[in-house]
């Protein structure tokens, strides 16, 4: 097709002529209409739907503050800690930039956890939004990697020893583990080579992947449309103009709505930055204000709070936990075998149970701890195919489903709390119970998700004007 210049009236303003010139070469206005002013979202979205927009704001904050921090940071084991102190004490407003970045890291996980929780309770991972959920889980994995690699950069005591512990976990992987951990460190111990590698991953590699995944996540969302608290597909009820009767344009209705909540979020964010940037040691640990010392191990090593639920699962996997864990997994496999008439599937379930039994004898608890810690994240990718409920939203599920979700949230919070505490026999048992429940929530979901009496789902969204 031949190039055509977009026409404007003769009396058009200079801004309109400029916009027409740009639109002829790059469809900015068309993109704005498709993704903002003519993107119809359900009119009954509630408070839980603000966290996706807040996540984008925090991502922008992390990128901008990260750029300014790299201007003065030195990825050198001999100078890294000093460069952070220089930023805090000598660079104009450097302390604020550093605290905005460290607070932003924690707030990123706050809004992402809330965003994922909303998707969990309202079934936003169900058809046709499976790909949106998969992109979201990939974003979560990237965030974990980004946070882990950035955790070493201040080169404080907790940064150094935390990275030492986590990297050493990879050595538990059979055959390739030692070489993999050596490659990650770049040396036989965490040192200057490790710092340079982590800096490259944190500043360049993962952010590029993360931004691409966020773009794919949003494009996939706008292709199939947003879910809503009722789980009703608004595109199935269209008006004479082809617009959803239960939908409203994202801009200006939800854009203004999100800006209002953004103001409240920024007040909380600023209060933390200016008055409690360490948040009692949860956002920034006291040990991280001490230079890294390879010859002095802190009495208690723990990751930042947003990693602690998964760290608790790692610590809970001890040698005396392997037998109960195998029994639990064997029961799940037995349930799968019992519900199918296919002999091949029954055989596969039996074979997996035998392999797991052999694996528990062949490999130590450290290996299985790594498997459980990694599997607890990877299993989220399969959620669209684990949920067999006939309805999406928790609003129309049986009452006992709500208790299952509630106990799941409580278990996750308990795991997070115990991951910060020093290990003890009592805490170990509690962590093991919570780990079993966490895994059972997902692995047994094909069975419990379809049980009970479900409420009828309305054909239109339920909405009260306010």
Mean pLDDT by 10 residues, the chain (466 residues): 78 88 88 88 93 96 96 93 95 96 96 96 95 97 94 91 85 84 86 92 95 96 93 89 90 91 96 95 90 87 90 93 90 86 83 85 87 94 95 95 96 95 93 96 94 92 76
In a 3-state reduction of DSSP, which class is residue 40? strand
pLDDT at 466: 56
Contact 129, 366 (CB under 8 A): no
pLDDT at 299: 81
d(CA 431, CA 421): 11
In the chain, list all ranges with CATH 1.20.810.10. 32-284+295-301, 304-451
Give the CATH superfamily of 304-451. Cytochrome Bc1 Complex; Chain C (1.20.810.10)
Contact 112, 55 (CB under 8 A): yes
pLDDT at 33: 86
Name the residue among 164, 173, 203, 185 with its Cα closest to residue 65. 203
Other beta carbons within 10 angstroms of residue 230's beta carbon come to 23
Contacts of 383 (CB under 8 A, 6+ apart): 120, 125, 133, 442, 445
pLDDT at 267: 97
pLDDT at 395: 95
Q: Is 466 annotated as a binding residue?
A: no
pLDDT at 283: 92
Q: Is 202 annotated as a binding residue?
A: yes
d(CA 28, CA 26): 6
CATH classification number, 32-284+295-301, choose in 1.10.472.50, 3.20.20.300, 1.20.810.10, 3.40.50.620: 1.20.810.10
Enumerate helices (H) and strands (E) in the chain, giving the number of each: 19, 2
Contact 393, 232 (CB under 8 A): no
pLDDT at 128: 93
Here the contacts of 220-226 (C-beta below 8 Å, separation 24 or greater) are 220/129, 220/131, 220/132, 220/135, 221/129, 221/132, 222/34, 222/35, 222/39, 224/128, 224/129, 224/132, 225/40, 225/41, 226/41, 226/42, 226/45, 226/49
In eight-state DSSP terms, residue 42 is E
Name the residue among 320, 341, 450, 334 with its Cα closest to residue 398. 450
pLDDT at 206: 96
pLDDT at 356: 84
Q: Is the peptide bond before 93 cis (omega within 30 degrees of 0)?
A: no
Q: Is 115 annotated as a binding residue?
A: yes
Q: Strands, DSSP E only, in 401-457?
A: none
Q: Which two tokens stand for residue 383?
A: 């959620």
Q: Is 257 annotated as a binding residue?
A: no
pLDDT at 302: 83
pLDDT at 365: 87
């Amino acid at each position: 097709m031949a190039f055509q210049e977009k026409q404007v009236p003769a009396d058009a303003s200079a801004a309109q002529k400029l916009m027409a010139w740009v639109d002829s070469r790059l469809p900015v206005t068309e993109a704005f209409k498709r993704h903002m002013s003519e993107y119809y979202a359900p009119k009954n979205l509630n408070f839980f739907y603000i966290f996706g927009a807040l996540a984008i704001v925090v991502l922008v904050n992390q990128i901008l503050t990260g750029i300014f921090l790299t201007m003065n940071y030195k990825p050198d084991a001999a100078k890294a800690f000093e460069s952070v102190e220089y930023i805090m004490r000598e660079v104009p407003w450097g302390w604020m930039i550093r605290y905005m970045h460290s607070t932003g890291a924690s707030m990123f996980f706050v809004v992402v956890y809330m965003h994922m929780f909303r998707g969990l309770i309202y079934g936003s991972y169900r058809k046709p939004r499976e790909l949106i959920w998969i992109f979201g889980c990939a974003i979560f994995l990237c965030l974990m990697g980004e946070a882990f690699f950035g955790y070493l950069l201040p080169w404080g005591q907790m940064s150094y020893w935390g990275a030492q512990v986590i990297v050493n976990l990879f050595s538990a992987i059979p055959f390739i583990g030692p070489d993999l951990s050596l490659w990650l460190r770049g040396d036989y111990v965490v040192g200057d080579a490790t710092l340079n590698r982590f800096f490259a991953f944190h500043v360049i590699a993962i952010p590029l992947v993360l931004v691409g995944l966020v773009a794919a996540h949003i494009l996939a969302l706008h292709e199939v449309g947003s879910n809503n608290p009722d789980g009703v597909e608004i595109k199935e009820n269209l008006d004479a103009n082809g617009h959803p009767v239960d939908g409203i344009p994202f801009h200006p209705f939800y854009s203004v709505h999100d800006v209002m909540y953004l103001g409240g979020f920024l007040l909380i964010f600023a209060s933390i930055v200016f008055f409690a940037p360490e948040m009692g040691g949860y956002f920034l640990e006291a040990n991280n204000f001490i230079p890294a010392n390879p010859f002095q191990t802190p009495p208690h090593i723990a990751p930042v709070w947003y990693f602690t639920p998964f760290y608790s699962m790692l610590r809970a996997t001890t040698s005396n936990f392997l037998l109960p864990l195998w029994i639990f997994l064997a029961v799940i496999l037995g349930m799968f075998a019992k519900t199918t008439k296919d002999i091949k599937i029954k055989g596969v379930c039996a074979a997996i149970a035998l392999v797991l039994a052999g694996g528990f004898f062949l490999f130590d608890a450290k290996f299985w701890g790594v498997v459980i810690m990694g599997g607890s994240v990877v299993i989220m990718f399969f959620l669209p195919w684990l949920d067999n409920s006939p309805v999406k939203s928790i609003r129309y599920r049986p009452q006992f489903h709500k208790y299952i979700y509630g106990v799941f949230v409580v278990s996750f919070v308990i795991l997070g709390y115990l991951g910060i505490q020093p290990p003890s026999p009592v805490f170990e048992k509690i962590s093991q119970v919570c780990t079993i429940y966490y895994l059972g929530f997902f692995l047994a979901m094909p069975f419990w998700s379809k049980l009970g009496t479900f409420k009828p789902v309305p054909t239109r969204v339920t909405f009260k004007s306010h």
